[in-house]
Amino acid sequence: MSTRFIAMEGLDGSGGTTQIAMLKAAFEARGEPVIVTREPSDRPVGALIRDHLRRSWQDVLGDGVFPYLFAADRRDHLDCVVLPALARGENVLSDRYALSSFAYQAEAHGLDRVMRLNQDFPAPDLTIMLDLAPAMCLDRILARGSPRDRFEALDQLNTIAAGYEAAIRAVSWPIVRIDANGTPAQIAAAIAALVWPNG
């Protein structure tokens, strides 16, 4: 089978990082070469973004710069990680990709504008959207010990969930939604059935 570029998407707390690790293990069990990567990436622009996310979006950089930073990180991530791995014959699993920008940056910056900024980037062969209600995502985020105000956080998650809905309608890439309300093993089985439909 030819190599594939698969992106995992969903709200914070929807379980994407766990599922990426389980999907990687499934590729390895089948002897199919695979790498796991993520956005924001672990490269310099991604590190800058993560640094600002950790500081709760302090006013060190103006808010207007973020859609550009995510797009710059994506260009760098594609050129230096994703495309070379595909060229080497490795499958690439990315924890978030451009759909995250469409969902997270659209409210502040406009979906059309964010989509324009990302128009040169290739569509993944498959985008897996983990569907979980914002309130359930919030329970998981809070269980990790995140000291966030519940109402404010729920409000944000609802906004991003609406952003994902609009983005999924606007994008013509193959996107498959998976019900993420289950055990990690159940969700991993649903994802495996999608990735290897012939077993």
Residue 39 in contact with residue 94, Cβ under 8 Å? yes
CB of 151 to ligand TMP, least distance (A): 18
Please name every residue paired with 8 in a beta bridge, in sequence order, or none if there are none: 95, 128
Q: Which is nearer to ligand TMP, 28 or 51 (CB)?
A: 51
CB of 38 to ligand TMP, least distance (A): 6
The residue ranges of DSSP E strands in 53-174, in sequence order, are 91-95, 126-131
Judging by DSSP bridges, how do beta strands 175-179 and 34-38 pair with one another?
unpaired
Please name every residue paired with 178 in a beta bridge, in sequence order, or none if there are none: 130
CB of 3 to ligand TMP, least distance (A): 22
Tell me the C-alpha distance between 38 and 93, whole Å: 8
CB of 43 to ligand TMP, least distance (A): 13
Q: Which is nearer to ligand TMP, 170 or 193 (CB)?
A: 170
Tell me the C-alpha distance between 109 and 182, whole Å: 34
CB of 192 to ligand TMP, least distance (A): 22
Two structure tokens written together for 172: 């013509």
Q: Which is nearer to ligand TMP, 32 or 68 (CB)?
A: 68
**Position of minimal CB gap to ligand TMP:** 104
Task: Quickly list DSSP for 26-69.
Answer: HHHHTT--EEEEESS-SSHHHHHHHHHHHTTS-TTS-GGGHHHH
Footprint of ligand TMP (CB under 6 A): 12, 39-40, 53, 70, 96, 100-101, 104-105
Q: Which is nearer to ligand TMP, 104 or 164 (CB)?
A: 104
Q: Which is nearer to ligand TMP, 70 or 164 (CB)?
A: 70
